[in-house]
Structure 1
């Protein structure tokens, strides 16, 4: 039986519970609004407004003569906020806007008008109008009817991004690089600049709209980098290598040209074959990253070690016997059947005798092979150069303490088997000999600039000491000159222009299949006063066509030396009138960069030009090119002599 007392007790319990609940709710409200009010306000603000990073304009990358290698071009995506526009403004300007969009972007006026109306109906606040417009197109579109009222009244949204473009096209593409690769990666700290910030508002479907045209924090553009690359030499090296790769149906190859005294890399071309085709492109930076057995070009290192240790002299005689020498269970062969008889060390270098070199090193170091290896180490051959460009390959020089050291390791090392070096590491050694023993570190950068002010200068060569005595270097220089004068490189000899170097022919992947070779030539020119050193390495040429370094690689070296030192430039001989009327296909192709720089407003006649050359010329003039075919140019959409402007489009048709 329920009494008044029990009812009252229940009332007190319920009342107490309600009081506790109200107190708890009050405390929570107080905590949310007062104690943590700012936190929740910030959180709410964050879900509606957010700062976004704005990428700065990346600095320009130039060659040594201030020709553009890479530049950042602003691109714009245009969108439309159909909600922020008033009904009166939309009705008044939508038709005119559609008409202008039709002229700029194609499609019919009705297509664009219906697109705008649909966006209005579904309340689209982020309608894509156009992507990747250039600056001039952006300037034009923001002045179109309705859009010219701005972001609030006109619903105009412009989002800027930057695109990296290479005016030289595919030439030197791998050297210029992208991201963290090549010159772009090596000097990213200078080029990249500092990010800015822009406030955006969250709208429908997780999209963000800029709420102001003014950046809260302006980005700081990157510095400009002036590299050591010379586009004229780069172009010569690229085409000389390409033609030889095509002729010998090789897998890939590389060329590096370095200024002897300064170590400045003037050209570096790396071309690899597209699988299943006969086309080549800048596939990988082989010259920097790919260690390989150098073959007979390593004989210079062996000779340098033997001369420095004074175990031989250039007149020391070796018996090549019948062209075969046996060490343990293996035989060494000379390329000449029957051998060379008794020849001096200098003659052995000249004719590239494997038997003579294997005897030279084995006979003098077999009791203490570590002495030979330590000499190579002292010359720095076991160490990386330490390039700014990422991905340098690790050289390999076997040591007697290695588990795989065998009795034949020493004689085989003498002619470049069992050791590995990258092309650039080999060139650095040869360049030191051209410098009378003084080693200069290769470099790719000359200056860092901010607009017109100098930030950093790298004009001084980086001297890394001597690899050998001047006496030894002079003997080696004499031997290298004789290689071209009357030895294995005599096929590139010129009566009025002396070159020096060494041929190399080395079997590769012999553990997989016989008949695969690496053909090389490395040296410098002119021989009496070295100005440039150069290495050419071509991997896996078709042996049915040719595989010796003298026939595969040396002609590329010759072509580069000839183009740099013998051919006469045409730039100063041609007037503007002649340029407007002349057929540039009759001009030396290595000068078209100079011509294009001088005559930037005139369309050249490219009939007969190789497709890649033609594209490079026009891109250097600032034109946008569409190419059909890959042979010689047979037709161009803009007539020669016609006035041209930056970003103008031209169609090329080739055979």
Structure 2
């Protein structure tokens, strides 16, 4: 027989037990339902998280694309700019030398010295005692300075390198030395009139330091160097040879030996006659080279801040004056060139002459009677000169003055040059008094340098050359790398005319007012001048005069022009013949051995006494 299916049998439970069982079942069902809800929430959260991650990834991808592709080149350049720096290395100015290679100006390293007492490894007293002799200061004063401040005490702003090395060798803590460059002028005031100086910004302010700035500044190219993370330069990445600079020097035509002799001779005469100022110019008339240019008073360019600023302009190129009788030889040349006189012509000097409504007289009211052209120069006759120029039409005379350069400036490499002054042609030709006063060097004005240029035309066969002090840029081996482009000489007079005038000027030295410039064995031409000083208010100062003498050496082969001027000398015996002529003699005596000028005639020797 088949068994019947089994049946679930329920035990008879108490009602309380059944309820407990029922509650448990309900809790189980609730837990199952809760688990299902949590699972659903977890899925939702996972979906949100994955959504965020995917969105972030997409954002990063977009940003990466923008940085790498869109902005990549710009950001790369910006990074390189931060890693690199443009550097223009310091280039010292070129030195200045004279024609015999004596150094006149150069850049040298100097040091600014600071003290930081809080870092001293010794007592302030010990440090002061070690530094005092090096800094040329009192040790006690230094010690007080160290006690007054803990850091940043300036001890020296321009300590020479050799003294800085002495400080460094002592290995003292608390001292800071910062290198810089300073312009040094070893000759001090000897050539300040020509060289000038540079200021704290290393810019030329006077002389060739100013006018030749482009030749003195070395050109240095800007280089790019890498920087480390802390900003320090990385020398390993510097271009090869970027600190190299040339060895060129600016050479001048000035001769320091002659410059020194000229200044000494000028100072002696200025002191003797209590003069206001003076000047000496020596020019090689063959090419316009200035061998000496002295202006007194002067200044020390190493201490330019202590000088009177008026001294920074060389008055031989920056100030005008009336040349007086030193212009007479040029008027004689004009007259000879126009054939209105002959060398043997004579004139009657009665001591005075009337021109229009004026009476013109000689200096000290002297009269010389019948005199020839050479004697007009010997005695510096105003009357004779007026009569010579009266033979020339005023308009023609005026044109010749313009040909000489009056009313114009001269081309020179010295700064602050001013143009000479000449009245207009209408005013000049309106009255005969204008030509008359011009005949003896008054009524117009020029610079001393321009007068030297004009006398150079008498010495070189009639050419106006350009006075200059720059010879060129030369290297340490003597090779010339640059020559100034000077204007071509301009022919004014014929060689025959100038030789006649120079020979007439020789008689001024041998027989006339220039005897004080005589040098045994040498033929010297010259002309004295004692001119009135023009007043700014018009007319002339009654108690002031400027004395001068211009000399040409040697007469048989004229080449060198020497001009000496002394402004406002004191005393009754102050004339061009007594004040200026001895200066020219002293300068020529120095010039002769320097230029090896042979004697014109054999020098007689006196036998030694037994």
The TM-score normalised by the length of structure 2 is 0.71
Give 1:130 shift.
4.6
1:251-262 to 2 correspondences below 5 Å: 251-262=276-287
Give 1:421 shift.
1.5
Whether 1:564 and 2:599 are equivalent positions in the alignment is: no
For the residue of structure 2 that corresponds to 1:508, the secondary structure is strand
Give 1:164 shift.
1.6
Corresponding residue for residue 67 of structure 1: 102
Cα root mean square deviation, aligned: 4.5
Whether 1:250 and 2:275 are equivalent positions in the alignment is: yes
From 288, 291, 314, give the equivalent of 1:285.
Answer: 314
CA separation in 1, counterparts of 2:410 and 2:144? 59
1:37-436 to 2 correspondences below 5 Å: 55-79=90-114, 94-95=121-122, 102-105=129-132, 107=139, 111=143, 118-119=150-151, 128=154, 130-142=156-168, 144-145=170-171, 158-178=177-197, 179-194=204-219, 218=243, 220=245, 223-272=248-297, 284-321=313-350, 323-335=351-363, 337-362=365-390, 364-365=391-392, 368-402=393-427, 406-436=431-461
CA separation in 2, counterparts of 1:112 and 1:451? 48
Corresponding residue for residue 631 of structure 1: none
Corresponding residue for residue 551 of structure 1: 578
Summarize deviations over 1:338-394 as a string: whole Å, max 9, x none: 5111222232122211011112212x23xx411111122223344322011111121
For the residue of structure 2 that corresponds to 1:419, the secondary structure is coil
Give 1:519 shift.
0.8
1:320–1:355 Cα contact (<8 Å) kept: yes
2:270–2:276 Cα contact (<8 Å) kept: yes
CA separation in 1, counterparts of 2:408 and 2:110? 44
For the residue of structure 2 that corresponds to 1:497, the secondary structure is coil
Give 1:547 shift.
2.9
Give 1:193 shift.
1.7
Summarize deviations over 1:438-482 as a string: whole Å, max 9, x none: 333222122313443735254998641321011111111111111
Corresponding residue for residue 492 of structure 2: 467
When residues 529 and 60 of structure 1 are mapped into structure 2, their CA distance, relative to the original with a 3 A threshold, is same
CA separation in 2, counterparts of 1:369 and 1:113? 76
Give 1:395 shift.
1.2
2:124–2:146 Cα contact (<8 Å) kept: no
Summarize deviations over 1:509-547 as a string: whole Å, max 9, x none: 3536302111111121122223421111111111x2433
CA separation in 2, counterparts of 1:311 and 1:502? 22
Whether 1:527 and 2:555 are equivalent positions in the alignment is: yes
When residues 451 and 385 of structure 1 are mapped into structure 2, their CA distance, relative to the original with a 3 A threshold, is same
CA separation in 1, counterparts of 2:116 and 2:248? 36
When residues 144 and 503 of structure 1 are mapped into structure 2, their CA distance, relative to the original with a 3 A threshold, is same
CA separation in 1, counterparts of 2:116 and 2:297? 48
From 499, 512, 522, give the equivalent of 2:524.
Answer: 499
Give 1:109 shift.
13
Corresponding residue for residue 477 of structure 2: 452
Greater relative contact order (Cα < 8 A, sep 6+): 2
1:633-644 to 2 correspondences below 5 Å: none
For the residue of structure 2 that corresponds to 1:261, the secondary structure is coil
CA separation in 2, counterparts of 1:113 and 1:421? 56
CA separation in 2, counterparts of 1:166 and 1:351? 45
When residues 337 and 257 of structure 1 are mapped into structure 2, their CA distance, relative to the original with a 3 A threshold, is same
Give 1:239 shift.
0.5
Point out where structure 1 has 5 or more consecutive residues left out of the alignment.
Answer: 1-29, 84-89, 120-125, 148-154, 201-208, 570-655
CA separation in 2, counterparts of 1:451 and 1:567? 23
For the residue of structure 1 that corresponds to 2:363, the secondary structure is coil
CA separation in 1, counterparts of 2:411 and 2:145? 60
For the residue of structure 2 that corresponds to 1:558, the secondary structure is helix
Corresponding residue for residue 606 of structure 2: none
Q: Tell me which structure has the larger Cα radius of gyration.
A: 2
Give 1:437 shift.
1.4
Corresponding residue for residue 540 of structure 1: 568
